[in-house]
Chain A
Amino acid sequence: MLKKRIIPCLDIRDGRTVKGINFIDIRDAGDPVELAKRYVQEGADELVFLDITATHENRKTLSALVEKISREINIPFTVGGGINSLADVSVIIKAGADKVSINSSAVKRPELITEIAEQFGSQCVVVAIDTKFVNNEWIVYVHGGRIPTLLKTMDWVKQVEELGAGEILLTSMNNDGMKTGFALDITNAVSQAVNIPVIASGGAGTKEHFKEVFSQTKASAALAASIFHFGEIPIPDLKNYLQTEKIPVRCL
């Protein structure tokens, strides 16, 4: 049986992990490779690395980091942040990433989704969507959630699927950082509307939140950052819990 995936997200700035705790047996929690290896050992199913500075100057730092991650990590990983062109994608994929995640650049130029899918395959293209519930409607935001667009989330998800997206990473800005649970309504609506995997993101605070999102929506995966970084929910505990609750997960 296909398993529901648990995906820790690591924020990267200048080649370093932005936030993280000092795991006892990790020498340097700021080293993305060390932290990533730790997550792999704990049973993470995939990893997402988000370059939150993503300036032109540090692209080289990022591709060197991606090469290093690829040498050390034996599970799939996605790289996102500041990817604007097919050339950017090519650098990241050739460095060894399995997938790239694009967000604002896909809104700005939707054909980019098709171009990446045609050159590298749909499975490479994760379209990240930041969405917020305003005036009774779910709207797409860009530029790290700072700028609203005119796009309705339900229209945009169907469009990105048609353009060739392989997965949708859906972050509810209303829930992000609140630790009150995932946005079940929009996650369910989106995962019902498209025939590609949806990764739920934003709001995870307890193990029960993961059970909710997997039992009440069709999400294929759930992503979280701080609860894993700060050790609030160890991944093995989360997976054992989900297995007890009859959610299909990969236990080690």
Chain B
Amino acid sequence: MQIAIIKYNAGNIKSVENAVKRLGYDCIVTDNPELIRNAEKVIFPGVGEASSAMQYLKKHHLDSLIKSLTQPTLGICLGQQLMCKYSEENDTDCLGIFDADVKKFPPEELVPHMGWNNIENLKSALFNGISDEDNVYFVHSYYAELSQETIATCQYILPFSAAMQKDNFYATQFHPEKSAWVGERILKNFLEL
């Protein structure tokens, strides 16, 4: 199976690549549209800032490419946020795959939300074998609001979308590649979709 990890100006790509390889799959890290379009699974990772990431995607025509994908595609962290409509982070229009906005956490607790938190209201094959007491690793200051497309919620300051899905597009705010066995199981579930 050909798995493509989209290469762009966001950190964390190495960890995602390592995690996929640990599961016994091969993958390529690429910004080549042909390779991405022909892959059976696509992962859209990301740590970084929304506006510069969107600018980079547009400049390299990856924005329209991502929206046009029809195979199972998984956004991670900033990847999930960029798949929403709009982000308050530097007033950024995003890809608009999910009908939700990305907002900054109010400073009622420490921001960023950093560390292990449990995810609840799980409704997707992505979470086969996972319960709402299982913890995953988060690092983020912005969150996607709850929407029709929310397939897992998390509670920190307020409830937000820990994971989303629409058609072939899946996304997690947390880092499955850094979430020990729980994250491995979620990645495996995605790769076996």
Contacts and interface: CB of A to CB of B under 8 A. Distances in A.
Interface of A: 1-3, 5, 40, 45, 70-72, 74-76, 93-96, 98, 120-124, 166-167, 195-197, 220-221, 250
Given A74-B177, A195-B110, A221 B115 contact: yes
Nearest to A75: B180
Interface string B28-66: 000000000000000000011100000000000000000
Contacts of A196: 110
A25 to B, nearest CB: 18
B115 A197 contact: yes
A48 to B, nearest CB: 14
B117 interface: yes
Contacts of B115: 2-3, 5, 45, 197, 220-221
Given A98-B178, A123-B139, A70 B111 contact: no
A5, A94, A123: most-surrounded residue (chain B CB, <10 A):
A123
A40 B180 contact: yes
B145 interface: no
B75 interface: no
A166 B14 contact: no
B178 A74 contact: yes
B143 to A, nearest CB: 13
A34 B137 CA distance: 22
A165 to B, nearest CB: 12
B183 A96 contact: no
Contacts of A197: 110, 114-115
B46 to A, nearest CB: 11
Given A74-B179, A220-B110, A5 B15 contact: no
B116 A123 contact: no
Interface string B118-142: 1000000000000000010101000
B11 interface: yes
Given A40-B180, A75-B137, A122 B14 contact: no
B127 to A, nearest CB: 17
B149 interface: no
Interface residues of B, number: 34
Given A1-B155, A74-B183, A195-B107, A123 B112 contact: yes
A23 B181 CA distance: 22
Interface in B128-186: 135, 137, 139, 155-156, 175, 177-181, 183-184
A5 B137 CA distance: 11
A185 to B, nearest CB: 20
21 contacts: A1-B118, A2-B109, A2-B156, A3-B135, A5-B115, A45-B116, A71-B21, A74-B178, A74-B180, A76-B137, A76-B175, A76-B178, A95-B14, A96-B14, A121-B48, A123-B47, A123-B112, A124-B11, A167-B114, A197-B110, A197-B115
* 7 shortest interchain CB distances as A-B pairs: A250-B135, A3-B116, A250-B116, A123-B139, A96-B14, A2-B117, A76-B178
Given A3-B117, A95-B14, A195-B111, 10 more contacts: A2-B156, A3-B135, A74-B19, A75-B178, A75-B179, A76-B139, A98-B15, A121-B11, A123-B112, A167-B114
A2 B116 contact: yes
A120, A195, A250: most-surrounded residue (chain B CB, <10 A):
A250
B11 A93 contact: yes
Given A74-B180, A195-B110, A197-B110, A121 B116 contact: no
Contacts of A167: 114
B113 interface: yes
B67 to A, nearest CB: 26
A243 to B, nearest CB: 11
B184 A70 contact: no
Contacts of A2: 109, 113, 115-117, 156
A40 B178 CA distance: 11
Contacts of A220: 110, 114-115
A72 B155 CA distance: 30
A164 to B, nearest CB: 12
